[in-house]
Structure 1
Amino acid sequence: MSYAVTARAALFTLATALTLSPPAQAAVSADCTESSITLPPGALYPNGIARAADGTLYVGLITSGNVLRKRPGKAWETFFPGADTVFASNALRLDERRGLLWGNSPDFLSGGKARANRIYALNVADGTLNRSLALPAGEMGNDIVLGADGTVYVTETRGGGILRLRPGETAFSTLYRDPQLAAPSGLGAAGIVLLDDRLMAVANFGTGKLYTLSYNDPKPQLTEMQLPRLIENPDGMGLAPDGALIVLENGILSGQGRILRIPSPKAAGMHQLEVLREGMESPVNLTITPQGCAFVSESRIRHRLLPGHETEVPDSFRLYQLPLPLTAAQ
């Protein structure tokens, strides 16, 4: 996610009723065990995370354009050192078929004149920059999802919209924009995931609401998902193999980050919120394997948004691996 807000701007009133359901029974490969992975010294505020089919992990950082890589059984290494146009490495998404690693580079917490937000792609073969596309002035990308045909979808967090780049195009266009995807804090549309070839799910970080959007319709329709409570800063999202929606609850105000599960996100009516993990510090992004193993980046950047705590940099940063509960439908 992109953090272009202060702690005060991120506040919103949570529903008092906290209705939670126990998670479904787990049924994941024994190769996926709940564990954590410590990042190397100097790798601050992880955000973007992607995993290749061979188990290689790629991790991006919120305040640096560096992209780290960890091959199975190997130590962490610098895959891409950043560039003049790549000064952050958020929301990494891997397109293995086309050999590209997409990322988002917003300029925030810089303390100076903000540079234009760019969406970039790296060549997986050699870690070189394939392209770097500037977004229109004033727009800020947040999260990314890739279509099967290589189309890139980006949440535009300031204006509350969805941007799209189809194969062969050289610039992003606005697919959809709606005030419901904006927020008074200036940080609205965040996590995004394709539920199928017709519907996508979109999170509003500032309001705590989730939506579905019929993104392939000539006139896309936005529908609010009915939830038992508001989610405190819903951030990165992913789709489990059984069709469940996995949502990261960032928890800027409370400091209580969670991993949530919504069993049937396309169904009508009230949805269940299952808590898979609690006590995390600003979980921001994730990637999920076809077998249902989730890898989550814990940014620990909350202190940068709380007045008086800006210099309290954590001494270490981690990724978390956990098996997702899968229903019999999978």
Structure 2
Amino acid sequence: MRATLRGLRRAAMAAGLLALPLAAGSAAADVVVPGHGDFPESLHASADGTLFFSSMAGGRIFRAAPGAAEAREWIPAGTNGLSSVLGILADDRSGTLYACSNDMGFAGITVPTGNTPPALKLFDLRTGAAKGSFPFPPGTIEGQSPLCNDIAVAGDGTAYVTDTLSGRLLRLRPGATALEVWARDPRWNDKGPRLDGIAIGEGALYVNFFEGDGLFRVAIGPDGSAGAVTKLRTSRPLVHADGLRMAGPNTLLMVEGEGKGTLDLITIKGDEAEIQVVRDGFQGPVSVVQHGDTIHVLDVPLKYLFDPALRSQTPPPFKAVPVKQPR
């Protein structure tokens, strides 16, 4: 993987282009989430290539076996108090599927089994059985409730979660009975959807902004405490930055949403972040995950859910689009 990413960066520099050439042919077929009403917001992959999908409007979780062309409902709405599901993460080391469950009533979304308060839900990665539910602590920004958005898990088993509307990072340590506030920063406190994607690298955690232009690095101290928060200087402004995953040492994969529609590779050098477009033309990329040499981009135009002028129209298929790593 590291050699491939180095090759990608060398190709970009040699070509002097923003959009990078792809290897001939597609990596695999699209994986479709059936229907038009679930609006999956996140996907992740287990070690064997199984793909998991959240459902913002349906309040359930889908699963697609390796090589399958279509996902199937795996965890029904209401299981373990599951409501509108945003971020999702499969952790093979602990055998856990993490899911961000929310009450999206403020956005006009009510799942079939009824909305429940924001919480981090845990399920058995093999069976789907409930393993735990951890409510979000009350928010601190006036007029805004907590919103569990995305998840990353460190090597020691600590789960970190973005609280988008309360401008903070929470964590759940192994064996803990409750989520705790891990990091805050005044730059995260503006009203509106801010903190979004999250990824963990060597000794640091990275987060981006959905609204506004921001990519931050939060140092992780030797004792696990939050250290310095640095806003990285990106080579260009970010537009609706969303899903964020590590791709190797000091490199990340990220998608930028509607209006931009790109899959990006980010290279970190000190406090600088070079943004390279791997592929564009997505209608509404919301999440990204890599398995082997295939990058899966979840393409779901959420405007069909939130724009009153489009709600009566049938959205395009919800799908994970495979992108083969450039060579």
Per the shorter chain, which TM-score range?
0.7 to 0.9
Alpha carbons 1:67, 1:81 under 8 Å: kept: yes
Unmatched 5+ residue regions in structure 1? 1-19
For residues 32 and 173 of structure 1, do their structure 2 counterparts lie closer, same or farther at Cα, with a shift above 3 Å needed? farther
Q: Deviations over 1:159-196 (max 9, x none)?
A: 21110000010111001111212333x21111010121
Q: How far does residue 312 in structure 1 lie from its aligned partner after superposition?
A: 2.4
Greater Cα offset, 163-172 or 314-323: 314-323
For residues 179-218 of structure 1, what are the structure 2 equivalents within 5 Å? 179-184=186-191, 186-196=192-202, 198-216=203-221, 218=225
Give the superposition deviation at 1:307: 4.3
Displacement, 1:31?
A: 11
Say yes or no: does 1:95 pair with 2:91: yes
By relative contact order (CA 8 Å, sep 6+), the higher-ranking structure is 1
Tell me which protein shows more helix as a share of its residues.
Answer: 2
Partner of 1:7: none
1:65 to partner: Cα distance: 2.1
How far apart, in 2, do the equivalents of 1:147 and 1:125 lie? 20
In structure 1, C-alpha distance between the alignment counterparts of 2:25 and 2:64, rounded to whole Å:
17
Q: Say which SS state the counterpart of residue 187 (structure 2) adopts.
A: helix
Aligned to 2:279: 277
Mark the CA change 1:31 to 1:104 in structure 2 (over 3 Å): closer, same or farther: farther
- Give 1:182's aligned amino acid: N
1:61-90 Cα offsets, whole Å, 9 max, x none, are 111222111113455322111216211222
Q: 1:183 touches 1:207 (CA, 8 Å); kept in 2?
A: no
Q: Give 5+ residue unaligned stretches, structure 2.
A: 1-15, 139-144
Could you give the per-residue CA deviations for residues 214-261 of structure 1, whole angstroms, max 9, x where no partner exists? 03364511111111322111111011136421111113xxx3311111
* Displacement after TM superposition at 1:44 (Å): 2.7
Is the contact made by 1:282 and 1:301 (CA closer than 8 Å) also made in structure 2?
yes
Aligned to 2:264: 260
Number of aligned residues = 297
Deviations 1:276-296 (A, max 9, x none): 11121221112112x342112
Q: Would the alpha carbon gap of residues 242 and 31 (structure 1) be closer, same or farther in structure 2, given more than 3 Å must change? A: farther
Question: Quick check: 1:21–1:273 contact (8 Å CA) kept in 2?
Answer: no
Give the alignment's TM-score, normalised by structure 1. 0.81
Q: Does 1:120 align with 2:121?
A: yes
Q: Could you tell me whether the CA contact under 8 Å between 1:36 and 1:318 is conserved in 2?
A: yes
SS of the residue 2:248 aligns to: coil
| More off after superposition, 134-143 vs 205-214 | 134-143
Aligned to 1:77: 72
1:148 match: secondary structure: coil
What is the root-mean-square deviation of aligned Cα atoms in Å? Answer: 2.6
Tell me, in whole angstroms, the C-alpha distance in 2 between the residues paired with 1:208 and 1:311: 31
Moved more, 301-310 or 311-320: 301-310
| 2:223 aligned with 1:223 | no
Give 1:111 deviation, angstroms: 5.3
For 1:65, which of 41, 59, 62 is the aligned residue? 59
**Mapping for residues 23-34 of structure 1, pairs under 5 Å:** 33=27
Q: Residues of 1 paired with 2:17 and 2:103: CA distance?
A: 38
For residues 57 and 111 of structure 1, the distance between their equivalents in structure 2, rounded to whole angstroms, comes to 25
